[in-house]
Structure formats: C-alpha cells, structure tokens
Chain A
Amino acid sequence: MALSGMRGLSVFISDVRNCRNKEQERLRVDKELGNIRTRFKNEKGLTPYEKKKYVWKMLYIYMLGYDVDFGHMEAVSLISAPKYPEKQVGYIVTSCLLNENHDFLRLAINAVRNDIIGRNETFQCLALTLVGNIGGRDFAESLAPDVQKLLISSSCRPLVRKKAALCLLRLFRKNSDILNVDGWSDRMAQLLDERDLGVLTSSMSLFVALVSNNHEAYWSCLPKCVKVMERLARNQDVPQEYTYYGIPSPWLQVKTMRALQYFPTVEDPSIRRALFEVLQRILMGTDVVKNVNKNNASHAVLFEALALVMHLDSEKEMMSQCVALLGKFIAVREPNIRYLGLENMTRMLMVTDVHEIIKRHQAQIITSLKDPDISIRRRSLDLLYGMCDVSNAKDIVEELLQYLGTADFAMREELALKAAILAEKFAPDLSWYVDVILQLIDKAGDFVSDDIWFRVVQFVTNNEDLQPYAALKAREYLDKPAIHETMVKVSAYLLGEYSHLLARRPGCSPKEIFSIIHEKLPMVSTPTIPILLTTYAKILMHSQPPDPELQNQIWAVYSKYESCIDAEIQQRAVEYLALSRKGEALMDVLAEMPKFPERQSSLIKKAEDTEADTAELSAIKLRTQQQTSNALVLTDQRPANGTPQGSQLGMVMVPSTSNVDESAVDQQLTQSNGTLSVGDPQPPAQDHAATGDILGDLLSPLAIEGPPGVSPQSEHNNNVPSHENTLDALALAPVGDQESTVKPIGDIAERFHALCFKDSGVLYEDPYVQIGIKAEWRGHQGRMVLFLGNKNTAPLDSVKAVILPPSHLKLELSLVPEVIPPRAQVQCPLEVVNILPSRDVAVLDFSYKFGTNLVNNRLRLPAVLNKFFQPVQVSAEEFFPQWRSLPGPPLKLQEVVRGVRPMSLGEMANLFNSLKLMVCPGLDPNPCNLVASTTFYSENTRAMLCLIRIETDPADRTQLRMTVASGDPTLTFELKEFIKEHLVSIPTAGQSSAPVAQQPQATNPPIASSDPGALLAGLL
C-alpha cells in the first residue's frame, strides 16, 4: 500500500468496508473512536506519526457521517509541527473538521501567520489554503496585509500567488474594508496582465467578487479582461498544460466572460469591437464534435458567450444568431445541451424582445415537457410559463392540463399553480378561466392549494355574467361519480351562492341541488362541512316560497350537527337553524356575498415568493401584455343601479336575475380598453371585506353588511339592473365623487402608529397603491426607503410625493418618477437627519392619478422621536451619579400624569422597551417603580443620555408620577411629553374601535361578535 506506513488506517478502512450492515459499521467506528480517545488522553506518548494516523481516522469517520466531538485540539496542534507531512495533515483535517467560528481556530492564528510570512513556499501554500477555506473575520483583520503582499509580490512564485488570490477573496468577503478600492483597482488591473494561467484563473475569481460588489471602481480592468479573452481565443501564449482537449483553459474563458457581465456596457468602440470579434468567433466556430469532453468544454464556453451577448444586448444580428443557436440546441438529442438550451432561452425572455422568434419553437418546447428527464421537464415548464401570453395561453394551458394527469408528483403542485396563474392572467374569456380551474381541481385536486379555488370564487363573485355559467359547471362536476374534496368545496360554495340562477334548468331545483350536495357530505372531512352547511342555508334562503319538505331535510341536518364536537360546525348549525326559523329575515342575513375588493392575485404573490426570478419574468411580460389582457381589468366593478342610496348599501347584495348579457360584456370590454378606470371599485359597504383576509371572506358564511332596515326583497323586485342604466350611471358619475371614494385599506392612523414601533411595514394602502416603508436608523441619521407599488394593470400617472418637514428634521427625498408602470414597485430613498429633539412629525404629501381619479393623501412619516433613541443598559453606579448631577428644572422635570391607560407594570415595561427606552430592573428598590434609560441622538445635542423614572400607585393605576432627566432642557421636555402621549393615548383601544366604527353592522354587536367567519379568522 502506498499509504506508506499508515497501516492502521488502511486496516480500519477495510474493516469498515467489510462491515455487512450499518449496525456493524457503527460498532466498529465506536470501537475506533474509543481507541483514539484513550490514545489522545495520554498525549505525551504519541509520536507525530501516530497523531497523524489518528487524525486521518477521525476525518474518515467524520466523512462517514459520525460525530467526532474530540481530538480537534490534536488536529490543530499538528499545524505547528515542523515537518511537512504532519503539517499538511494538520491543515487539511483542520479545514475539514472546524468551521470559522470554532474557538480552536483562534489558537492557531499565530502558527498560521508564521507560516504565511515564513520563507517556506509549501508551508505558505498550506496556510493560505486553510485561511482561504475557513478563515473568518479575525483572520481578515490580522492577515490581510500579508496576503496582499504575497499576491502582488514579484519575487513570489505562481504557486503561492494563486493561493493568495483566493485567500484574499475569502478575507474580502469576510470584511470588505480590507481592500482600499482606490488603491486596489490599479493593482487588480496589473494582476490581470499576469502571464501564468494558474494565477490568472484565481485572480479572475477574486476580480469577479470585487467587480460584482462595485463595478464602477474597476472600469480600468475591463480592457484587460477583453485582452485575456483575445489571448485565449487566439490560443496565444497558452502552455500545453492549460489546454484542455485543444481548448485553451475553458474555465478561465468562462470566468472572464462572467466578469465582463458585471459591467453594464462596453463603451470604448475599439474594445467593443475586439470583444465582439472574440464572441463572434466563439459563436461561429463552435462545432459539434465526437469527443464528449471536447464537445462539453467548447459548449461551456459557447453558453457563457451567449450569456454575455444577451447581457450586452445590442448587436441585433448577433442576438438573432443566438436565438437561432438556442433553437437548434433545444431540439438536439444530447440531453445536456437540450437542458441548457431551454434554460438559456428562459433567460433570454427576460432581457430582450425575442418573444416572436421563441414562440416559433413552442411545439418543440412542449415536446420537452414530456421528456423522460425531470430536469428537462422543469426547464421547459419554466420556459412555457415565461413565454405565455394572450396569443398562446390557450394552447399552453391546455398542454399543461393534459400533462398534469401524467406528471410526476414532484412537479404537480408547481404545474397546477403555474397553470392557474397563466389561466388567470391571459384568459381570453372568463368562462374559459373557470373551465380551466375546475379541470385543474378535477385532475389534480390534491395539488391545488386553497389559494387557487379561493381565487376562482373571487372571480365569479366579482363578475355577475360569469355566475350562471360557473354554477352550471359546478353542477355538472357534481354528477361525476367520484370527485375531489376541493371540488366539493368549490361547487358547494358556487351553488350556494348562485344555484338560483339555474332554477329553470332540469336537475337544478333547490331540492335537487341540495340532495346532490348532501350526498357528498359523508365523504368529506371536517373543514368542508361548514361550507356545506352554509350552502344549505343559502339554498333554503333562495327557495321562496319555502318548500316544507326541503326545509325539514335541512333542519334535520342542522339538528344533527347542533351537538357536533367541532366548534365551527356546531356554531354554524345552531345559528343557521335559529336564523332559518326567522322566515323573511333570513333574506337579510344570508344575502349574496359582496364583491371582493380588487387585490393582487394571491397566486401570483405565492409564485413570487417561491421564485423571484420567474416572477420578475412574468411581471415584465404582464406589463407588455396588459393592453390586450382583460382578465384582471374585468374584475372592476360597475355600480349595479343608478340610485345613490342603492349604490351605497344595497347593490352588492342584490342578487341579479339577469342572465349572461353579451352586450354588457362588450360594453365593458371597450370601456376597459379605453380608460381602465371604470368607476370606483370600492363601495363603502365593502370596508369590512377590504380589511379582511381572503380566507376570512370566503369562509364567513353571513353577508350581514346590510342594515336591517333595508329590505333586499323589494329592491330585488324594483331594481333589476339593465345595462343601459349601468352605463348611465357611469357616464354621469362626477369625477369629484370618485375622488372621494378611493378609500384607503386599513386605518392610516393605526398603520402609522405601528410603524412608530417597528422599522418596516405598510404606511398606506388603497385599491391602487401600496406604500411600504423600510427604515434604518443610526445615531441622528436615518435612511427610509419608500416602496411605491402600483397594484393595477394600468400605469399610475402624475405621481407626486412631497415631504413637508418639521423644523427639527432635515429630509431629503430622492426623485420620485411621475409614472409608475403597471404592477411595478418604485423605491425612493429618503435621508433623514435629526437636528433637534422635537415631537413634530414629518408629513408626506402623496398624490396620484389613476385614470381620471385624482387621489391625494397626507401621510405622517414615522420619523418620530424614539427612532433616534439607542437603548442603553445603565448600572446603579452609573445611574445615581448622573441622576443627582441633574438637579432640577429645566434639566430634570417631574409631573403627575393622570388618566393613564391602566396597564400592569410588565406591560408598561414592554411599552418602554418598544419605544427603545431600556428598562433597567433592580435600580429602584420600590417594585412599583420603573427606571429606564436611553441615548438620544441629534445633530445639536449629539449623544445624550436620558433617564426616566416612573412611580406608580398600585391602588390607582390611572395615575403615576414621572420624572425625566437629560442634559438638554428641550430634550427633557420633549421626552416627557412624548412618553406622556404614549401612556395616555390609547393605542390598543383605538385598534379595535376604529375598524368597528367603519362597519355598518357595528350597530348590531351580538351578531358581529358571534360571526363564525371572524372567529375562524381569529383562530387562523
């Protein structure tokens, strides 16, 4: 054995190999670990050779997947061994067993440094490799100058310098301050002139990391990279050892082209020409050859060149060449090339306008969807998803549906989600969309997440024309012998709401609908039963005049579930039973569900969450498609009747008896293509729905928005909406009215309040816009980023954001673009400097135009006093001298505060801590008191310590005595008032009272509080 002497190791390895099962292996390993442990214990007797042998055994055992929690010290100690073989083992095993945070590593730092600055080249290499693989911040700080010196030294041999380059890369990633950008860019340029290809390869990796961090500083290196490419492409000065199957170092070529992709453009015309010449040579000169390795290597270079051309995205001719190549690749037999062809075609969708050419390959891509290889299927699914638009949506979605039946389990969920999204986005008509989703549920019910069926219900609810069709379809699926539970849910829901629209058709009488749904009840699981119970209630409501037989059947069901163990089912059964005995009043409480507010598809959100890249791609596509797509636009609501009172309250509840009205659809289409702003999608009656969650909306069984006084029955008779009426109403609606009707979603004051305590969240939201905030605070400075998101498929115009700063803050908002593209988000950084302590609040005056609606809002910005606090823990020795040194007014102020919101001491401590006032327990001997401290930062006061003491009265929680002290009178006063505001104002009570006030049903609290939907929402 060439293991020269390490016989023990060989024996051990072959022992393990001969073990017949895992149990035997474990026994053998345990025995060996015991052995090593005892040998290490009396360390004095171990020769370096023995140590080396045991350390290798440990590594082997570790590699097999057993925990080795001892002997690390021995491995580390080998690093300082004088001889090469021991040292080498020490370095390698240490870098395998330890991670950068391990304490022992710090012990070795000196030995490592000695090797790096020593004269022995081989030792230098070992040490640099270790640091390069596991070096942490400690190493970065202490070793960076030495490593830099080695890398740029002219006396060092290449074998050391190449390791130094990657070692420096590691240290740079740990601490980017170790390289001074200004000085280093010239050195980097020199490094890229290197002749030795080993040093050049690792320097190029270092360069990629640097340039990806900051390309601006390295423009001078760009020509050097092009030179390297020229040298390699022409095979000049490339030693045989670096040629791989006749190709000059393919890895270096790939790396160099990767580095070039971090520069936005190549401006210098001569360099540009040189680069394109090289790229042209690669694109044209790569042929398919017999030798697999040569073929792979040359194609590796080719694919990187393709990526670079795509990135530079300028030479039209070359782009079409690339597309042609990719088209060829996706049809070849070689699976690797096919895979990469599909992958790169997907990337291509993102950067250039080549859809039409790619669409020509659709048939081929669909074939790949059925490839036996899942990797290739995944790529083609991604590509199909990306290239889908209105023109080919029908074909692609139908292919996906067809494939769904045979697809493997690993892919079905993704497939179902993507099909649902595409169907939603690019539906040529909405009935097709309903067909697709129902088919989806039918074929792959297990993989259809709740989001998907919630979404179809939203669509149907918001589009009256669709309702009879959807109900009919749902009814048809129920005839199938075995259907998925999700199908039961969605059909029960749809039939509950809309089966009355089908009443005249055969098999669709309330009784028949009930019996076919009721057949499914024994098969479904607990969460579905409540939906069915609601459906029965709705059927009962719609069967007017009441059919006694049906009534008795349904009552029997309710009575049965009245004592159900599941609280949700029980509650619904009890309530529906009671309600259904109320006769006419049933119509009020069980009226049709109101329309859902326009919101972003939860599906798209889901897809975005899971895969940012795909989402980006789809968003870009969506933007280009939005002119032609009407799927989303159609969900805009139109007022159903012209009378003002009706549109206030009644309209969303009036069950429309008009059947599908073709002309109305047409009208809407032209409307939506025209202005996109069809009235206001937020009737006030929906505020409840707007603040709710999709889930809450869907599962809440009662539409109790209507005030008891209104009789929907009479409206039902009087206001059968005709589409002329609708159009009149639209045409006459004055702009001013619409402006006032864009209602924010959620309570602005509440959102502001929440943001005072945290650094990111939503500041404002309405049906069109969402404004989010993310903030970072450092001392007296802060940086906020406003995220202005357009939620719709039409651009927002005349966007204006002006900051009205108070005198104590310096605020600088970067330029806000006037137009926000559809579904896009714009980030606007806002720099904040705090000059003086003050409780005044900065205001953002934000306005935009959506269609003809001008919306203007003044929003308070959460740059409040406590953002400039830095909590500090103060000990008794620090606190008391400080406290005493601030004698009294104006530096120390005391006040008895009355009308304090009652809270326990613990709650108060939490409140203080969340205001960044650090509560210091134990400082005050009285347990009813509370002492807190913080540091306040502003330009004028600099860092200033603030001390607070609160004395409470356990007998009367509504009053307390507060003492505030700091070195600045204004600060003391402002801080005292600030704390008072928070103690006296009642944020939590406000939380619950504000939304209630907006809701009409607040007048009827018993029903509201027992709403099972809300209860369920609470539970979720």
Chain B
Amino acid sequence: MHASFVFVLVKYRCSFSLYFLHSIVLCVGGSIVLRRISRRRELRLKMGIRFVLMVNKQGQTRLAQYYEYLTLEERRTLEGEIVRKCLARNEQQCSFVEHRTYKIVYRRYASLFFLVGVDNDENELAILEFIHLLVETMDRHFGNVCELDIMFHLEKAHFMLEEMVMNGCIVETSKANILAPIQLMDKSS
C-alpha cells in the first residue's frame, strides 16, 4: 500500500518534471543565435495590440474594442481589474502597468483614460504615442474632443479606431487618411 501510494506520486511528478529545464532549450548543434531565434519564434502567435479601452474617471467604459475574442464575462472581469489598477495611479508614475501576461499602456486626458493592452514585447513608447495620435485625430474631427463627444458619437469613434488599428496592428497613421471615410459618411447623410 505504501509503495503504491509513493508510486502514484512519482508518476504525477514526472509529467511535470519532463519540462524541468525546458526554458534552456539548446538545439542540437545550436548556438546562442539559434536559441534566440527560437525565443523569438514563440512570439509568432502574438498580435501586438489586444484591446483599446476608453474609460472615464468613474470607471465607466466609453469605448471598448477587442482584437482577440473574449467572452462577455471575461471582458467584464478584465475591465474591472485593469481600471482599478490604472485609475489608482498618479501622474508621477510611469504609463505602463503589467497585468497577467501582458502590459497596459495608458494615458489620461482630463476625465478620460485611454488604455491599450499590448503583448509584453511591444514597444511601449510607440503605443503611448499612438494613443496621442488617436486623440489628435479625434481633436481634428471634433475640435478639442471630450468624453461626451466620444459617448454620443460612438460610431465615429469606432470608425476612426477601425481606420487606425486592424487585427491588432497599426494600419494608418496619417490623420487625413484616417478621417476620409468619416467625411464621406457625413457627406452622404
């Protein structure tokens, strides 16, 4: 009886310990270079921007766009967690927050927070300025954009974001090009 118990335990351990040194994979005949490539390769399925959120000071979501599918429940939890984390921070702290397996890059404009979830190896400052580009684009269209503009022109905010980000990648950074379809829509209505 004793022995068989021990055995069960050993088997259980083994299934984990197989990978005990998994992180130091040296390919056969491999060099440092090869290892680095394989590290990079892990990132293949990553997608850059995972979501863009606009949330006000009270933590109410004003715009949410996800580039990976999450169920409603997952979204609610996620938004709750990151809003709590980011809103508690002050001006002297940096604009990056680590959350679960990714990072939030965020920026505050008056009462509105822009939160962008990105993969860990994304260039944080580039995303930070991308947020500002989004805000400047909105400014150009609305003229000094505020929370209410985004609330009541939800569809336009969506159109702009859609012109700028697609499938988690930046697609356009020229304001004129971003705003062109919206102007088309305004004209037609």
Binding site for B on A (CB under 8 A): 1-5, 10, 13-14, 17, 56, 59-60, 62-67, 83-85, 88-89, 92, 96, 99-100, 122, 125, 129, 132-134, 159, 162-163, 166-167, 169-170, 173, 197-198, 201-202, 205, 209, 212-213, 215, 239, 241-242, 244, 249-252, 254-255, 258, 261-262, 264-265, 293, 296-297, 299-300, 303-304, 311, 335-336, 338-340, 351, 372-373, 375-376, 378, 600, 605, 608, 612-613, 615-616, 619-620, 688, 691-693, 696, 746, 750-751, 754, 760-762, 765, 770, 772, 774, 787, 789, 791, 814-817, 821, 823-829, 991-992, 995-996, 999, 1002, 1008-1009, 1011, 1014-1015, 1017-1018, 1020
Contacts of B65 in A (CB 8 A): 96
Asked whether any CB of chain A lies closer than 8 Å to the CB of B3, the reply is yes
A924 to B48, CA, bound (A): 56
Pair A1014/B29 contact, Cβ less than 8 Å: no
Which secondary structure characterizes the binding site on chain A? helix
Asked whether any CB of chain A lies closer than 8 Å to the CB of B144, the reply is no
A862 to B169, CA, bound (A): 45
Pair A826/B26 contact, Cβ less than 8 Å: yes
Known contacts being A202-B171, A375-B96, is A88 close to B159, with CB within 8 Å?
yes
Pair A770/B20 contact, Cβ less than 8 Å: yes
Partner of A92, one of B26, B43, B155: B155
Known contacts being A612-B23, A696-B9, A1020-B9, is A169 close to B169, with CB within 8 Å?
yes
Chain B's closest residue to A376 (CB) is B94
Pair B4/A339 contact, Cβ less than 8 Å: no
Contacts of B41 in A (CB 8 A): 212-213
Contacts of B20 in A (CB 8 A): 600, 605, 608, 770, 789, 791, 825
Contacts of A373 in B (CB 8 A): 89, 92-94
Pair B170/A311 contact, Cβ less than 8 Å: no
A692 to B9, CA, bound (A): 7
Pair B181/A65 contact, Cβ less than 8 Å: no
Contacts of B1 in A (CB 8 A): 1008-1009, 1014
Contacts of B61 in A (CB 8 A): 63-65
Asked whether any CB of chain A lies closer than 8 Å to the CB of B108, the reply is no
Pair A59/B29 contact, Cβ less than 8 Å: no
Contacts of A613 in B (CB 8 A): 23
Q: A67-B72, A691-B7, A821-B26 known; 19 other A-B pairs, CB under 8 Å?
A: A129-B162, A197-B174, A202-B172, A205-B48, A212-B41, A241-B175, A264-B34, A297-B126, A303-B123, A336-B94, A375-B94, A615-B24, A616-B23, A770-B17, A774-B18, A824-B21, A1008-B2, A1011-B2, A1018-B8
Contacts of A205 in B (CB 8 A): 48, 169-171
Contacts of B175 in A (CB 8 A): 241
Asked whether any CB of chain A lies closer than 8 Å to the CB of B10, the reply is yes
A762 to B81, CA, bound (A): 40
Pair A3/B5 contact, Cβ less than 8 Å: no
Pair B6/A1017 contact, Cβ less than 8 Å: yes
> How many residues belonging to B are interface residues under a CB distance threshold of 8 Å?
93
Binding site for A on B (CB under 8 A): 1-11, 13-29, 32-34, 36-37, 39-41, 43-45, 48, 61, 63-65, 67, 69, 72, 75-76, 79, 89, 92-98, 123-126, 128-130, 132-133, 151-155, 158-159, 162, 166-167, 169-177, 180-181, 184-186, 188-189
A580 to chain B, nearest CB (A): 22
Partner of B94, one of A83, A244, A338, A616: A338
Pair B130/A251 contact, Cβ less than 8 Å: yes
B25 to chain A, nearest CB (A): 6
Partner of A133, one of B26, B67, B130: B67
Pair A251/B124 contact, Cβ less than 8 Å: no
Contacts of B79 in A (CB 8 A): 65
A291 to chain B, nearest CB (A): 11
Would you list 24 pairs from A and B whose C-beta atoms are within 8 A, ordered by A residue?
A59-B154, A84-B184, A92-B162, A169-B167, A170-B167, A201-B170, A201-B173, A202-B166, A202-B172, A205-B48, A264-B34, A296-B125, A300-B129, A376-B94, A613-B23, A615-B23, A616-B23, A688-B6, A754-B11, A761-B15, A789-B21, A816-B28, A825-B24, A1014-B5
Pair A619/B33 contact, Cβ less than 8 Å: no
A195 to B157, CA, bound (A): 29
